[in-house]
Amino acid sequence: MALSKAGTAYDLNGPQDAPVVVLIHGLGLTRDSTWKPIIRWLAGRFRVLSYDLPGHGDSALPTGDVSLTALSEQLMTLLDELEIATAALVGFSLGGMINRRVAMDHPDRVSALVVLNSPHERGDEQQALVEARARDSAAEGPGANIDTTLKRWYTPEYMRDNSALVGEVRAVVLANEPKNYAAHRLVLAQGVIELIRPVPPITQPTLVITCAHDSGSTPAMSEAIGAEIAGSEVHIIPGLQHLGLIERPLLFGKRLETFLETTLT
């Protein structure tokens, strides 16, 4: 692990002269809990940068307000410090919102996008409900309804057969500082509004993936994201829920590798 001047914890793996791929995790998780198998899969061909969002994992708590723009600028500051001119950005959930914001604000720095299990336009009623739940978490903390959340994230079979691994992710979420977690959850709730029908349009080669039973980042949302990015590819993975990436990492890794090899090499 390394620590940037701004307090962002990160790891770099893979050949130094290879195209750079950045992995951006989601709310309450960390670079390690999300990406370890994917890093092993990709690091033979690419320079892989993974990092922790503010106040997550080993990164310092934010010093200012948390917003989608602030989270995108965290990544830009890290890329500048590491002298990385361009990179493909792979974002999971909240990370798939951050990478879209970066592509809109700094298009010359983004070689490709991969948006994994990330939310999009919800409709007025659902949007209001999601925002209300996010505000409630400010009082209740990351432990609020954690067991219900895990049932939405994992398939019942995986929870039954991998209780220790599910417990590790549960512990990662519960370790979050409550106010910081609540601030990031509000960004996850509200930030999609600024990504709908993006202006300026996103023009980078883009792969959008979600799972058939992801209730918060639905197939319809992924289809909508793809429809708003010309030439994008959309894949719906059957049988899995929100953390399909963790349940079946090699299934995701193969799709990522094929897309990145075609796009970057």
Q: How far is CA 126 from CA 166, 215, 228, in A?
A: 28, 12, 21
What are 24's two structure tokens? 């951006």
Q: How far is CA 244 from CA 11, 63, 79, 127, in A?
A: 23, 33, 28, 24
* Cβ atoms within 10 Å, residue 74: 24
At residue 137, the pLDDT reads 67
Q: Sign of the CA dihedral 182, 51, 77, 207?
A: negative
* Residues facing residue 50 across a β-bridge: 11, 23
Q: Are 247 and 158 a contacting pair, CB within 8 Å?
A: yes
At residue 3, the pLDDT reads 98
At residue 164, the pLDDT reads 97
Three-state secondary-structure class, residue 237: strand
Contacting residues for 254 by C-beta, under 8 A, at least 6 apart: 41
**Does pTM top 0.95 for this prediction?**
yes
User: Burial of 66 by CB count in 10 Å (0-12 exposed, 13-18 middle, 19+ buried)?
Assistant: buried
Angle at 209 between CA 119 and CA 99, to 5 degrees: 60
At residue 135, the pLDDT reads 81
- Alpha helix ranges (H) inside 141-234: 146-153, 156-161, 163-174, 178-190, 219-227
What are 154's two structure tokens? 């994992």
At residue 143, the pLDDT reads 86
Nearest to 206 by CA among 184, 190, 229: 229
Residues in the chain, total: 265
Phi, psi (degrees; rounded to nearest 5) at 119? -75, 165
Q: Rounded to whole angstroms, how far apart are CA atoms 175 and 238?
A: 31
Q: Are 203 and 87 a contacting pair, CB within 8 Å?
A: no
What are 142's two structure tokens? 């990351």
Q: How far is CA 95 from CA 76, 99, 156, 259, in A?
A: 14, 6, 25, 18
Question: Beta 9-13 vs 47-51: how paired, if at all?
Answer: antiparallel
* Residues facing residue 115 across a β-bridge: 91, 208
> What is the CATH number assigned to the segment(s) 2-264?
3.40.50.1820
At residue 166, the pLDDT reads 97
At residue 129, the pLDDT reads 86
Q: Rounded to whole angstroms, how far apart are CA atoms 10 and 242?
A: 24
Per-residue pLDDT of the chain (265 residues; tens, 9 = 90+): 999 999 999 999 999 999 999 999 999 999 999 999 999 999 999 999 999 999 999 999 999 999 999 999 999 999 999 999 999 999 999 999 999 999 999 999 999 999 999 999 999 899 998 888 788 766 678 988 899 999 999 999 999 999 999 999 999 999 999 999 999 999 999 999 999 999 999 999 999 999 999 999 999 999 999 999 999 999 999 999 999 999 999 999 999 999 999 999 8
